[in-house]
Amino acid sequence: MSEEYKREHVFGLDYGTSDFKFGPITLGEIPEVVENRGYFVDKSSLMSRLMGVKRDVVVGRDVPKFLESKEDLAERMVYPMRNGVIAKDDLKAWKVIEEITRYALESFAPEDEEFNGFYVVASLSIIAPRYMYEKLFEIFRRINDKRVLVKAATVIPQPLAVAIAQKIPTCTVVESGHGNTQICPISMYPIRNAVIALNRGGGAANILTAEILKDAGYGDLAKEESLVRRVKESIGLIPRDLDEAIEYGKTHLDEIRVSLKIPGTRIKIDLGDHSWTRFLIGEYVFNPGHEIFQSYFTRGMPKPSDVKIGDTYFYGMMDMAESIITSIEKCSVELQPYLYSKILLSGGNFGWTVPENLRGVAVRSDEKLREMLLRKGVENVSVTITGDPKYSVWKGCIVYGYAVPVDYQWRWEKFEGWMKIA
C-alpha cells in the first residue's frame, strides 16, 4: 500500500476512561466523541424480541435509547476502562471495546471500491500492560470479518501522543482524564520508570459533586453519573487558595450562585447557600488532602486510595504538584530543569473555565499548578494547557500515523511501527 494512501486514511482512536474519541485525518481538529461505555441489552425480554433488537451490547449515541430503570444501570452498563486498564479476563469490558471500535470505524468507512482499510493509531494509558496491546490487535483482526476496515494498526501511550501533538520532544506530560492522572516525563520516548499515576481524575470530582448535591437537597439526582458529571463541568471552580475562596463565596453569595437547567427536562439545580462548595470540586482534583474534605470522608465518601493495578501503584491522596516533583526527580538531574520548563496539561480534567466576575478567586488549571509548584520551591517552572486538552491525545494519534512510514513494521521491543492487519 502506498504512502499516499496511508496518509489519506489515518484513523485515530483514543480510549479514555470516560470518553472515546475517534475519527479519520479528514476531520481536522475535532474528533467524534462518545462515552466509553456499553449497555448490555436483556435479549431474553419479550419487548426485545418484539422490537427485533439483535445487538447484545449497545454503544455510541444509541445507548440512551435503550436505557431502562435506574436500578438496571448498575447491572447492565459497563465502563470498560475505569482505571485505564482492562483485566485480561474481563470479557464484558473487552466486548464493549470491540463493539465501540467497530462502531467508530464503520461510521467513517467509505463505500468506494478503492478503500482497503484504515491505518489505525490507537492510544492507551502509559501503564497499559502488553496484553492490552495484543488484545487490541486481535480486535482489529476480528473487525475485518465482513469487510476490511483496518489495513494496519499501531498503539501509542497517551502522554506520548500529547507530546507529539505539541511537537515537544522533551517535556513532562500530565494527562488527566476521568479515571486517573498520568504524570510522564518524556525525552524523545516516555521515561517509564519515572511515571507516576494518581488514582483520581474527573471521576473523583464527580463523587464529591454527588455529595454536594445531596447536601443541597438533590439526593435523588446524585445517583445518576451522567447528570452529576454535567453538573460538575457546569459549576465546578478551581480556587487560587481554597480557604480564601470559601470565605469569599460565603460573603459574596450573589456572585457565585448559579442556577443550572438540564435541557429537555424539568430539572433545575440551585445550590443556594451551598454555592461556595463550587470551589471544593476543583480543589479536590489537585489536593484532596485539604482538611475540609475530612468531613466528607467521615460521612462515608470513599477516600482516593493507593491501589496496585498490574505492576503500577496508583497514589490516591498525593497532591498533583508533589506527584510531578516525585516523577521528575526520578530522572537525571541534568534533565530535570528541561522537564520543569515544559509541563503540558492534557485531558478533559484540565478544561475548567473561569467566570470573568470571579477571575483572581478562581483560576485555570495551569495557574493553579504553577502556584502549587512555586510554593514547594520549584523555580523556573512553565505550565501550559494544550490548545484543546480534551482532544490532544487524538490529535497526536493523527500526527503520528501521518508521520510513521508505511513500511515501518511493528517492533515489540520498541512498541512502535505498523502491525499488518489485512
pLDDT digits (tens, 9 = 90+) for 327-354: 999 999 999 999 999 999 998 889 888 9
Which residue ranges in the chain fall short of pLDDT 50?
46-47, 50-52, 69
pLDDT of residue 312: 76
Rounded to whole angstroms, the Cα distance separating 17 from 263 reads 25
By CB neighbour count within 10 A (0-12 exposed, 13-18 middle, 19+ buried), where does 322 fall?
Answer: middle
pLDDT of residue 66: 66
Query: 77-113 pLDDT, tens per residue?
Result: 888 987 788 999 999 999 999 999 999 999 999 988 8
pLDDT of residue 42: 66
pLDDT of residue 51: 43
Domains belonging to the chain, first-starting first, are 3-164+390-420 (3.30.420.40), 201-303+348-385 (3.30.420.570)
Cell of 150: 483496518
pLDDT of residue 166: 93
pLDDT of residue 47: 46
